[in-house]
Structures are given as C-alpha cells and as structure tokens.
Amino acid sequence: MHYTILFLAFFACNFSQRTTPSGTPTGAAVPGLEATTDSIVPPAYDANNRLIRVTKTDTDWKKELDELEYNVLRQEGTERAFTGDLVKNKQKGTYTCRGCRLPLFSSDTKFDSGTGWPSYWKPLKPEYVTENQDRAYGMLRTEVECARCGGHLGHVFDDGPKPTGLRYCINSVSLDFVRE
Ligand SMILES: [Zn+2]
C-alpha cells in the first residue's frame, strides 16, 4: 500500500490554499488605482531614540476604522485572498499603516507572490515593524505588526525572493498607498 504524504507548504496568510496563477481573482486589480491616502506621518523618536508609539482606546479605533479594518488591524483578522485593492497595484509609491500612516513598505520591494495578499521582501526599515511569534490555530508563524500603533499587518515567511528570502504577507486592508 502506498502512502503519499503531501507536504503542503503554508504559503498563504491563513488557511486558504494557494490560488493557482490561473485562478480568477475576485474584486482585485484596480487599474490606475488612485492613492488611497495623501499623507504619510513620519516616525518621531523620544530622547532614547525609541519610536514614539500611538496608543488609542478600542472605542477610538472603532470610530476611525471600518469593520474589516478593525477586525484585521486590532483583532488580528485576515482579509479574504484577492479581495484587497492593493494586491495587484504595481505603481511606484509607499505603503503606509492604515492605523497611523507610518510608512511601512516601498513599491520597490513588492512582488507578486500569487497568494492574493500584497507581498514584500522587506519593510522600509526593520524598526518600523514588530515581529511576534503567533501560535494561533496550532501553528507557529511570525506575526507582523506596525511598530508604532501595534496594528496587525500580516505574517512573514521565509519563502520569499532574493535578496532577503523573506515574504511579508500583508493584508491590503491594513495598508494605504501613497503614489510617488
Ligand atoms: Zn500603525
């Protein structure tokens, strides 16, 4: 009797299996996407050169974010694959945190991972993101948060392209885009 063990690499941000390149993305590409925000709020540092954090109450976050944004950013939810308007965006610009407008990723490091979520091989600066071990659902993954407001962005995996070999798999809804 043959047993075939399929090692299903965990490509995606959640349990969805990787969509084949021929799969039809739903609600994805927005040709000529306009900038979703026009402002970047650069980081500020305290006397010890630590990033000054943004803290708000849950009530305030609920006022500022829509339901899906709140679920992903503040409750570590995941948007459905291929539903984000930034997945296929190829314009040059900067991706900021939707919670606090910290610049997080450059279009220069964005690549098409085929997973259905915006993917980058490195953040703009390592100190702009915080990485935490995530043991939810019986898996060990590395969660990525905005270092300033603590908003959940997605996860980072080690199957990305050169030069870092990393894949920051980020929810579109956690980001805004500022076109160059
Ligand atoms: Zn933030």
The tens digit of pLDDT for each residue in 112-150 reads 999 999 999 999 999 999 999 999 889 899 999 999 999
- CA distance linking residue 15 with residue 139, whole number of Å: 11
**Cα 101 to averaged position of ligand 1 atoms, centre (Å):** 6
d(CA 135, CA 127): 23
Q: By mean pLDDT, which of 14-23, 55-64, 90-99, 164-173 is the weakest?
A: 14-23
Confidence of residue 30 (pLDDT cuts 50, 70, 90): very low
- Which residues have C-beta under 5 Å from ligand 1, the single-atom ion? 97, 99-100, 102, 146, 148-149, 151
User: Residue 6 Cα, ligand 1 centroid: separation in angstroms?
Assistant: 38
The residue behind tokens 């630590």 is 50
Distances (CA, A) of 114 to 13, 108, 169: 12, 17, 11
Let me know if 169 is a catalytic residue: yes
Lowest mean pLDDT among 22-31, 37-46, 74-83, 131-140: 22-31
The correct answer on CATH 2.120.10.70 for the domain covering 58-179 is no
Residue 26 has pLDDT above 70, yes or no: no
Label residue 39 by pLDDT band (50, 70, 90).
Answer: confident
Q: Phi and psi for 128 in degrees, rounded to 5?
A: -80, -15
> Is the confidence at residue 171, as pLDDT, over 80?
yes
Give the span between the Cα atoms of 18 and 55, in whole angstroms: 35
Q: Left, alpha or beta for 47 (phi > 0: left; psi -120 to 50: alpha)? A: alpha
Cis peptide leading into 163, omega within 30 of 0?
A: yes
